[in-house]
Structure 1
Amino acid sequence: MSSWTFFVLAFSSLAAAASGAWTFEDAQAVVAAKGGKVDAYKFSPTKPIKEAISLGPKEILKVSLTIKEDSKVGRPHQAFLLVQEPESKVEAFFPLTVKELSGKGKVDLSHKDLPAFLLTAPSLSLSLVLGSFGESAASVVTIGNVEPSLDPTAKALLEKQKQKDIGGETVIYKAKDEIRHIFRADPQSPPKIITLVFLLSVLAGLGGLFVVWFPILGGNLSHLPRALKAAPVSHPLFFASLLSLEAIFFMYYTQWNLFQTLAGMAAIGPVALFSGSRALREVRVRREKGER
């Protein structure tokens, strides 16, 4: 179903209880060239133009009329000239310029306005589409036919352009091939044996650190009560934040994604920074006093 059909149906539903309709009067179509008026055709909503209008490359089709809402002049929300190729139903729209007070509307049509797939057609139907908000019903009125006249050279060039636009197919609109999206597989964890090797290496390093801490590095647990008394919040909080960071890394390795991990780091990081600075400040005070 074409777009203008949807347009008409939309306004028809709004005008179910309409007492009037959009129409026009004093309508004429004039084919003009640089030398002046060539031909003039009168038409009305009930009497379209009988003979086909010939439109040459250097000519302009000028359509003018007075738009009325029921019996009063008006300016509709939509007013345009519909040009359609009857066989394929390919169409194009050309809006009318309408004056608000007088309701006089006009539109010009020439070869340069028509796309190649319409300009190469033997005959085109012309219709006026009028409609607006409110109770008045919309209208689609056929006013006549136009036959674009082309010289053989120009017609051959337009046929090539037409085939290029539609891909050389006899069917202009058709379904395209199905697009199948292939997403990259989720990253996999390394083999368990490698994970266990690195885990044992880390545990062995920590164990070795605790072994050499007391006899070589001068570890002294006797200062623990004094440290906790001087900074009762900073030391436990700093130690807990370090364990929390390790727990976050473990969750990232086993279950969490990157966004969850970053959220956890953003919550624990400032706590570790604040409590760690206070805890290390207390340690520095004891070191300055020569206590280890």
Structure 2
Amino acid sequence: MRSIISADMSLKTFFVLSLSTLAAATGTWTFEDGKATISGKGVAEGSRSFSATKPIVESLTLAPRETLKLTFSLKEDSKAARPHQAFLLVSEEASGLETFYPLTIKGESGKAKVELTHKDLPAHLLASPKLSLSIALGSFGSTPGSILPIGNLIPALDAAALGLLEKQKLKDLGEGAIVYKAKKEISHIFRADPQNPPKIITLVFLASVIASLVGLFVVWFPILGANFSHLPKALGAAPVSHPLFFASLVTLEGIFFLYYTQWNLFQTLGASLIVAPIALFSGSRALREVRARRERGQR
């Protein structure tokens, strides 16, 4: 999107400063065989000739549905050449506002053209009574840049074009409306933390677990033949494995209790990864000792 350059640092000033040289000039950038053609629906196509030394005297009038086409041959001194920078400069002298359009150049022949319509002009230039047209040329080397006037342009606006222009001006600069204002407050709603089940459900399950443990001990002694008299033998054969295995099981139950009351999943997994290998290693040694006693007929 083309932007309008302010009058304090105009394109003309920037162009001349950037392309001027301290060396003695050996030539100049110019053009010849200039033609300006305005075409459009219901408009008879006609062209006006101009050159670098003879700009168009009468102002060109450009209607909303018309196209201004400019063609010319670019030269460096007297030879056809392709400059590094070539623009059509459109400006309003009263306000100092200006904008530019790059020329389309055909190879190294210097044949150049540019087309201009109402849609190409910024709103505040389109509303101007008269615009100045110039060709800005420049390139590397000792040849200085040139800004050559070619004539004036009058944008003709009908009622429909005027309405669209006013809407575009309001959109561009926010005239008559507040551009900067406070936005609505953004309310972030985060998912609520997971809640524990009701206490009654917790108590029911706790009672069922305790009842299962009591039932296990009841069955273990009279039916399965639990014998505490073998405890000294078990601790004597595996003094580390049995206590460590029992302690690891109690620790795992404590970890699950903490997870239920206050820990999160990551804390629970971290602690379990530490205790679980201990329980696995000590449990395998403890069960190996129990199997050895049973193989000897001790129950």
TM-score range, shorter chain: 0.5 to 0.7
Q: Deviations over 1:69-115 (max 9, x none)?
A: 34432223332212223333333322211012211101122334334
Provide the TM-score with structure 1 as the length reference. 0.55
Alpha-carbon distance in 2 for matches of 1:137, 1:97: 21
* 1:108 counterpart SS class: strand
Name structure 1 gaps, 5 residues minimum.
171-175, 183-219, 228-234, 236-241, 243-261
- Contact 2:72–2:113, Cα closer than 8 Å, also in 1: yes
Q: CA deviation at 1:178?
A: 9.6
- Contact 2:87–2:100, Cα closer than 8 Å, also in 1: yes
CA 1:12/1:169 → structure 2, altered by over 3 Å: closer, same or farther? same
Aligned to 1:60: 67
Alpha-carbon distance in 2 for matches of 1:64, 1:226: 100
CA 1:66/1:47 → structure 2, altered by over 3 Å: closer, same or farther? same
Q: Percent identity?
A: 36
CA 1:122/1:158 → structure 2, altered by over 3 Å: closer, same or farther? farther
Letter in 1 for 2:21: A
Matched, 1:160 2:166: yes
Aligned to 1:43: 51
Letter in 1 for 2:82: R
Matched, 1:77 2:76: no
Letter in 2 for 1:281: L
Aligned to 2:17: 12
* 1:121 counterpart SS class: coil
- Contact 2:50–2:150, Cα closer than 8 Å, also in 1: no
Q: CA deviation at 1:66?
A: 1.5
Alpha-carbon distance in 2 for matches of 1:17, 1:280: 88
Provide the TM-score with structure 2 as the length reference. 0.54
Alpha-carbon distance in 1 for matches of 2:44, 2:181: 55
- Larger Cα-atom Rg: 2
CA 1:279/1:58 → structure 2, altered by over 3 Å: closer, same or farther? closer
* 1:289 counterpart SS class: helix
Matched, 1:144 2:151: yes
| Aligned pairs, number | 222
Alpha-carbon distance in 1 for matches of 2:169, 2:11: 28
Please provide the CA RMSD for this pair.
4.9
Aligned to 1:124: 131
